[in-house]
Amino acid sequence: MLIYKIFRRPEWDALCAAGKTLGAPIDLADGFIHFSTAAQVVETAAKHFASESDLVLVAVAAEPLGAALKWEVSRGGALFPHLYRALRREDVAWDTALPLGVSGHIFPEGLL
């Protein structure tokens, strides 16, 4: 199963340069890296990144993250994946630009 993280371009560039990250400011404040499932990621983009255009969508295989990945109740009582360790560049299965269109972000075909 793939889980998804949305990064602002400078956050993604920093991860690529350093090889790992503890996440965005909200992740640092909460003590874990926030992820979404495919069913949750559109709402995450709309709620937290509504007017932002220079974003990167990152897919990560959940299983290899092992016990560091915890499924916890969050928005609307749904279980969300939270990573309790640094996200390493090698954890990333793929990444792609997440452009902002007229009616919201444009996700890759086949994701939704």
Coil/strand/helix, residue 26? helix
What pLDDT score does 74 carry? 86
Residue 68 lies in a domain: yes
What pLDDT score does 102 carry? 92
Tell me what the mean pLDDT of segment 17-32 comes to: 97
What pLDDT score does 104 carry? 93
Tell me which H or E stretch contains 95: strand 92-98
Residue 27 lies in a domain: yes
Q: What is the pTM of this model?
A: 0.95
What pLDDT score does 23 carry? 96
75: containing domain: 2-95
Coil/strand/helix, residue 37? coil
Kindly tell me if the per-residue pLDDT of 87 is higher than 90.
Answer: yes
Structural domains counted in the chain: 1
Angle 24-107-91 from CA coordinates, rounded to 5°: 50
Residue 87 lies in a domain: yes
Tell me what the mean pLDDT of segment 18-31 comes to: 97
Kindly tell me if the per-residue pLDDT of 75 is higher than 80.
Answer: no
- Model pLDDT for residues 46-74, shown as the tens digit of each residue: 999 999 999 999 999 999 999 999 999 98
Residue 100 lies in a domain: no
Spatial CA neighbour of 33 closest among 69, 77, 64, 74: 69
Contact 65, 100 (CB under 8 A): no
Q: How far apart are CA 55 and CA 35, in angstroms?
A: 15
Coil/strand/helix, residue 82? strand
What pLDDT score does 76 carry? 86
What pLDDT score does 37 carry? 97
Instruction: Give the CATH number of the domain where residue 22 resides.
Output: 3.20.170.20
